[in-house]
Structure 1
Amino acid sequence: MAGTTLPTPLYGLYQEEFGFDELITTVVFAVYAVGVIGVLLLAGNASDTVGRKPVLLTGLALAAASAVCFLCATAMPWLYAGRLLSGLSAGLFTGAATAYVLELAPPGGSSRATFVATAANMGGLGCGPLLAGLLSEYAPWPLHLPFAVHLVLLAASAGVLRALPETVRERRPPSAVRPQRPGVPAQVRAVFAPAATAAFVGFALFGVFTSVSPAFMAQSLDVHDRAVSGLVVALAFFASTAGQLAAGRLGVRRSLPLGCATLLAGLALLAAALWQDLLALVVLSALVGGAGQGLSFRGALSAVAGASPPDRRAAVISSLFVVAYAGISVPVVGVGVMAGPLGLENAGLVFLACMGALVAAAAAYLLRRPVRTG
């Protein structure tokens, strides 16, 4: 998961190297979401069919291929290919790795396993920009060393994975994998609409942080230290981990509306940061917005899973992830489109106003019709 956010602090260097603008940066970033959504729809249940280890080893191989693309990047097509392969890898890991961690947990260890899975997922996403920022700022070969280190980490991960036992007992050949058709039964729609809206906005906020926030900090705040920009992005993901852990204690009924409110506060802080050009507000928005994303997304996932009939639960959860990853791509590309005529700061303010309206509507709906937990 760290590999999916590894390029974040490096986009400015790629802009200098290949001469593209913010729109292309957001498109390169959004290609990742295309890969994730494609895998979720076409092979999201693959590990249930062929086994956890083959799917995770395939994911590691795709991540390694992505790193090689970035290492060999001499033109834009290499960046597109690298991001697409990274998305395919993350799509395979999204469900399979979480299920594998839970299945490998000792008796009575499911709660700790859930924590490990959450921390590995969001913590990995946070470590990517932090690692790349530090290496690109303070070590040689800034566009190559982060990906070389990533390849070493992937090789170590593959060695550990091969030593673990397979947990799927009745495995079938890859030809038995069938595409999943997302769907939302009528009885789930009242819960799904606000939950999916919150997921969409939370992922959209992460999309902005991981695609254009380093450019904003360089252009408007005169922060050119890539380690600093990587740290700010990392803080959002680390705060999300804390938010998801807090959601487990608060319960769905409180965590989803509280997450929406916290997410709205994070959006407001980021708008103030854009308006006032203050780094402290950017950091604060990363912490508050990240916590709101964690609270709202875990609450959303629990709400739709609890409201779904067992025989449709996987399809409904897949639909939620499709909406979430649409949030990490479509609005971000919109920011890139607007950045040309309006400037990056004004484009960001328009984006934040739209996302704020969406999450405020979801919060108002949840206050009128709280999620039923039983």
Structure 2
Amino acid sequence: MATAADTTAENAAPTHQLLFYTLVVVAFLAASGVPTPLYPLYQASWHFSTPMLTLAFAIYMFALLLALLMTGRLSEYLGRRPVILLGLAIEVVAMLGFLVAQDLGVLLLARALQGLATGIATSALGAALIDTDHRRGPILASVAPLVGMGLGALCSGFLVDLAPYPMRLGFLLMTGIFVWQLIGLRGTQESVSPRPGALASLKPTARIPVSVRPTFLRVIPACIASWSLGGFSLSLGPVLARQVSGIDNAMIGGLLVCLLAVMGALGVWCLQRQNTRWILMLSGILLPLGMAIVLWGVARHDILILLAGITVAGPGFGAGFMGAMRAIMSLAPQGERSSLMAVLYVASYLSASLPALMAGIAMQRFGLASTVYGYGTYVIVLSLSALVGVLSQRQATK
């Protein structure tokens, strides 16, 4: 007969594993945000153009996408733990690359390795969270990336302004965290039995099951709008914050990114018990409203108005991603959860990288303010189109 202590231990194990996987997701996304406040320092030290600055952001996204397309189904064959282990090991190498970088070439290489590592681990981690807890897993899979992105950018900005070795210290700390997680991975339990077909699964694919496609097409605009705003804040947000505020301080750029991410995570947490349709509707209202306030702040050269707009847009940013994930992943057939998660992340990261890269190029010709107005209008129109799509399908998304 099982004792009370045995029952407590059985309940504690999944909770411990859920927390561990959540912290790994937070760490990966925090590491992706660490370079954001450093871009102006890199640009000043190594004298490269703004399009090259956005390339440093975009190359991370492109490497991540390639990894997702090739390895998105790998954990269904090898198991979650081996794939997460591989991602963590490559991430440590990427952190060491940032530590020794002395020019743009090494920075781009380290950024590409970081994208590769994150892409390998992302879908496996998302699936592992859902495997561990079907109720809390999807919520944490939505919240953890936002929290990580915000913490990485804010803490990096803090270190740049107040700590020694600003271009090295953040990466040194992240190296220690990833090494600890490599060791801690041994204490987790595998949720997938290995099976043949791992090599065949590496063929790039972006398959969406037929049963999921109508819902996917209906809700994905909300996800695209959300991550377009996220990509802009990560790549050009620090430059915009400095120009609008007139403050030459790395923390102001980190604050902008952190505010968007934290408000997004708060929105996800507060809305987790609402139905999916309501979540997507709220995203379609808050995100364009917040973006309009941001553009007003840019026009007025008022950093407080700009940050207020980010505060309003943040919950819409988080809600758009969570609503799309919930609507799509709830329909995932057994055995295709990891690959469908990969498709969702591919759409998300493409939405973050391509518009941001085009914005960096546009800045060279039209200037920062005009580029921001154009980008903001794009996000607003896309968000409103997603809202119209949800409203036109009153009973389709519950």
- The equivalent of 1:353 in structure 2 is 377
- Kindly provide the amino acid, as one letter, of the partner of residue 307 in structure 2: V
> Quick one: structure 1 residues 115 and 194, their matched pair in 2 at CA, closer, same or farther if it must change by over 3 Å?
closer
- The equivalent of 2:231 in structure 1 is 207
Which of 106, 120, 124 is the aligned partner of 1:92?
120
- Equivalent position SS for 1:250: coil
TM-score when normalising by structure 2: 0.86
CA contact (8 A) 2:159 2:170 kept: yes
Q: How far apart in 2 are the matches of 1:102 and 1:361?
A: 30
CA contact (8 A) 2:127 2:338 kept: no
Q: How far apart in 2 are the matches of 1:360 and 1:302?
A: 20
- The equivalent of 1:9 in structure 2 is 37
Matched, 1:22 2:50: yes
TM-score when normalising by structure 1: 0.91
Q: How far apart in 2 are the matches of 1:252 and 1:286?
A: 23
Number of residue pairs the alignment of both structures matches: 370
How far residue 174 of structure 1 moved from its aligned partner, in angstroms, is 4.8
- Kindly provide the amino acid, as one letter, of the partner of residue 179 in structure 2: A
Deviations 1:66-117 (A, max 9, x none): 1112111122111211211111122122221233234445xxxx43444444
Matched, 1:285 2:313: no
Within a 5 Å distance, the mapping from 1:1-374 to structure 2 comes to: 1=28, 2-105=30-133, 110-172=134-196, 174-175=198-199, 177-179=201-203, 181-184=205-208, 188-306=212-330, 316-370=340-394, 372-373=396-397
CA contact (8 A) 1:223 1:229 kept: no
Q: How far apart in 2 are the matches of 1:58 and 1:185?
A: 27
How far residue 189 of structure 1 moved from its aligned partner, in angstroms, is 4.6
- Kindly provide the amino acid, as one letter, of the partner of residue 63 in structure 1: E
> Quick one: structure 1 residues 282 and 7, their matched pair in 2 at CA, closer, same or farther if it must change by over 3 Å?
same
Per mean C-alpha deviation after superposition, the further-off stretch among 209-218 and 92-101 is 92-101
CA contact (8 A) 1:252 1:371 kept: no
- Equivalent position SS for 1:220: helix
Per mean C-alpha deviation after superposition, the further-off stretch among 353-362 and 159-168 is 159-168
CA contact (8 A) 1:241 1:294 kept: yes
How far residue 199 of structure 1 moved from its aligned partner, in angstroms, is 1.1
> Quick one: structure 1 residues 53 and 306, their matched pair in 2 at CA, closer, same or farther if it must change by over 3 Å?
closer
Deviations 1:261-313 (A, max 9, x none): 11111211221122111111222222222211111111112223345666876
CA contact (8 A) 1:191 1:371 kept: no
CA contact (8 A) 2:123 2:339 kept: no
Identity of aligned residues (%): 28
Name stretches of at least 5 consecutive residues in structure 2 with no aligned partner.
1-27
- Equivalent position SS for 2:41: helix
Q: How far apart in 2 are the matches of 1:66 and 1:365?
A: 41
Q: How far apart in 2 are the matches of 1:156 and 1:242?
A: 28
- Kindly provide the amino acid, as one letter, of the partner of residue 254 in structure 2: G
> Quick one: structure 1 residues 101 and 304, their matched pair in 2 at CA, closer, same or farther if it must change by over 3 Å?
closer
CA contact (8 A) 1:30 1:332 kept: yes
